[in-house]
């Protein structure tokens, strides 16, 4: 018996670094996994990399209500229901001071990172209620509990989803749906390469060394380390955990 036998998981941002790591972990432990992301080729590559018959994909934009309803319905049609949602899709926006920050980028980051999560909750919670409950894990960030220069849209969005999570955990409790956030510090994915380049154009390697040095454990996290927390929060071992902010940050938020 594996931890996620007979469980159906939808993972948004499913072809990204953390999404693939989560797809691997959940499918290895028995779940049926639907990876949700924007680009079909990238999704096909992600499914091939995970290499399990338990994994398939849906092309959807998390900012478009019909498409979110669509991937939710697809999980139900393909696998019989939905038990777990990892609301993980996200974009970083630009690295710029507020005074220079493009308004359209600010709005885009909020659309993906906040509205995308809201829509995920809106369509997933009723499906989970039909199964007697479920678990939703939202990927926030260390930028959800701390501020810093240059990342106003991202920081705002990752704080905002903690508010969404707290609302949803209260509304979910009577129907058996637990809702939590995971809050990683820098993790080894495409997103950090983009942020390093944004912080130090042409000197991304030095930016990485400097950033890693600010983390008490002295390094970035691995996608699998975030996936491990997602799996714990989605499992029966976390049956009394809802409404919580779970740091996976090498100690960053302790400073
Ligand atoms: N990498 C880090 O250091 C780090 C740290 C803290 C939090 N996070 C968060 O982790 C999550 C996953 O990021 P990652 O590190 O795997 O980066 P990533 O860029 O590898 O993955 C993000 C994925 O989200 C997808 N996505 C973007 N917009 C979308 C949309 N509108 N609809 C559907 N999918 C969309 C992208 O195509 C991409 O595959 C994000 O929410 C990110 O903010 C990452």
What pLDDT is attached to residue 37?
98
d(CA 91, ligand 1 centre) in Å = 5
What pLDDT is attached to residue 206?
94
What pLDDT is attached to residue 85?
99
What pLDDT is attached to residue 174?
98
Does residue 206 lie within any of the structural domains? no
Contact 46 CB / ligand 1 (< 6 Å):
no
What pLDDT is attached to residue 47?
98
- Structural domain including 96 reads 8-186+222-254
Does residue 200 lie within any of the structural domains? no
Does residue 192 lie within any of the structural domains? no
d(CA 89, ligand 1 centre) in Å = 5
Residues of the chain with pLDDT under 70: none
What pLDDT is attached to residue 226?
98
Say how far apart CA 237 and CA 241 lie, in whole Å: 9
> Over the stretch 25-55, which tens digit does the pLDDT of each residue have?
999 999 999 999 999 999 999 999 999 999 9
CATH of the domain at 180: 3.40.50.720
The model's pTM is 0.98
Does residue 215 lie within any of the structural domains? no
What pLDDT is attached to residue 1?
83
Protein residue whose Cα sits closest to atom 7 of ligand 1: 141
The total number of structural domains in the chain stands at 1
Contact 252 CB / ligand 1 (< 6 Å):
no
Does residue 3 lie within any of the structural domains? no
- Answer for the pair 223, 17: CB distance below 8 angstroms, yes or no: yes
Q: Which of 123, 154, 220, 246 is catalytic?
A: 154
> How many Cβ atoms sit within 10 Å of the Cβ of residue 130?
12
């Amino acid at each position: 018996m594996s931890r996620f036998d007979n469980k159906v998981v939808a993972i948004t941002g499913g072809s990204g670094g953390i999404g693939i790591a989560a797809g691997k972990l959940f499918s290895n432990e028995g779940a049926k996994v639907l990876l949700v992301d924007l680009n079909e080729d990238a999704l096909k590559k992600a499914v091939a990399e995970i290499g399990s018959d338990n994994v398939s994909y849906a092309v959807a934009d998390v900012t478009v209500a019909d498409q979110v309803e669509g991937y939710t319905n697809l999980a139900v049609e393909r696998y019989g229901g939905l038990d777990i949602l990892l609301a993980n899709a996200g974009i970083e926006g630009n690295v710029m001071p507020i005074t220079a920050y493009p308004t359209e980028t600010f709005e885009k980051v909020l659309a993906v990172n906040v509205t995308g999560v809201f829509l995920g909750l809106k369509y997933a919670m009723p499906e989970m209620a039909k199964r007697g409950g479920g678990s939703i894990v939202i990927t926030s960030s260390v930028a959800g509990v701390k501020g810093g220069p240059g990342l106003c849209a991202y920081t705002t969005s990752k704080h905002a989803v903690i508010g969404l999570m707290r609302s949803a955990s209260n509304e979910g409790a009577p129907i058996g749906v637990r809702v939590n956030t995971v809050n990683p510090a820098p993790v080894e994915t495409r997103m950090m390469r983009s942020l390093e380049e944004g912080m130090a154009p042409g000197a991304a390697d030095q930016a990485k060394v400097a950033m890693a040095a600010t983390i008490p454990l002295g390094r970035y996290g691995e996608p699998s380390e975030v996936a491990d927390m997602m799996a714990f929060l989605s499992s029966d071992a976390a049956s009394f955990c809802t409404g919580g902010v779970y740091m996976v940050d090498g100690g960053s938020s302790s400073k």
